[in-house]
Amino acid sequence: MQEDKPTKKVAVVGGGLAGALMAVYMAKRGFKVDVYEARKDPRSEATIRGRSVNLAFSVRGIESLKAVGADDSVRELGIPMNARMIHSHNGRTTPIPYGKKGQFLLSVERQKLNKDLLSVAETYPGVDLHFEHKLIASDLERGHLSFRRNGNDDQRLEVDADLVIGSDGAYSTIRRELLRRPRFDFSQEYIPHGYKELCLAPTKDGEFAMAVNYLHIWPRQTFMMIALPNQDKSFTCTLFLPFEEFDKMKTKEAVLDFFQAEFPDFLALMGEENLVEEYFRNPVAPMISVKCHPYHVRDKVVIIGDAAHAMVPFYGQGTNCAFEDCLVFDGLLEKHSNDFGAVLAEYSRTRNKDVEAMCDLAMYNYIEMRALVTSPVFLMKKKLFNFLHWIMPNTFIPLYTMVSFSQIPYHTVIERSHWQDKVVWRAAVATAVVTGIGAIITALRITKKDLKLF
Output the smallest distance, CB 5 to ligand FAD, in A.
29
Residue/partner pairs of 88-92 with CB below 8 Å, 24 or more apart: 88/374, 89/220, 89/262, 89/264, 91/264, 91/265
Q: Which is nearer to ligand FAD, 20 or 275 (CB)?
A: 20
Q: Which is nearer to ligand FAD, 167 or 417 (CB)?
A: 167
d(CA 25, CA 19): 10
d(CA 219, CA 209): 19
Q: Which is nearer to ligand FAD, 18 or 399 (CB)?
A: 18
d(CA 110, CA 313): 14
Output the smallest distance, CB 425 to ligand FAD, in A.
31
Q: Which is nearer to ligand FAD, 73 or 319 (CB)?
A: 319
Output the smallest distance, CB 327 to ligand FAD, in A.
14
CB under 8 Å to 401, separation ≥6 — which residues? 98, 99, 100, 103, 389
CA-to-CA separations, 352 to 28, 170, 179, 296, 433, in angstroms, rounded? 25, 16, 16, 11, 42
Output the smallest distance, CB 318 to ligand FAD, in A.
2
Could you give the 3-state DSSP secondary structure of residue 221? coil
Evaluate whether 363 touches 190 at the Cβ level (below 8 Å): no
Output the smallest distance, CB 53 to ligand FAD, in A.
9
Output the smallest distance, CB 305 to ligand FAD, in A.
2
Output the smallest distance, CB 56 to ligand FAD, in A.
4
Question: In sequence order, what are the beta bridge partners of 36?
Answer: 13, 130
d(CA 129, CA 108): 23
CB under 8 Å to 258, separation ≥6 — which residues? 249
Q: Which is nearer to ligand FAD, 316 or 396 (CB)?
A: 316
Query: Which residues sit at the interface with ligand FAD, rule CB under 6 A?
Result: 13-19, 36-39, 52, 55-56, 134-135, 167-169, 173, 195, 238, 287, 305-307, 313, 316-320, 322
Q: Which is nearer to ligand FAD, 227 or 275 (CB)?
A: 227
How many other CB atoms sit within 10 Å of the CB of residue 375? 13
Output the smallest distance, CB 85 to ligand FAD, in A.
16
Q: Which is nearer to ligand FAD, 133 or 389 (CB)?
A: 133
Q: Cα angle at 215 between 230 and 372, to 5 degrees? A: 155
Classify residue 303 by burial, with Cβ atoms within 10 Å: 0-12, 13-18, 19+.
Answer: buried
Residue nearest to ligand FAD (CB): 16
Q: Which is nearer to ligand FAD, 290 or 345 (CB)?
A: 290
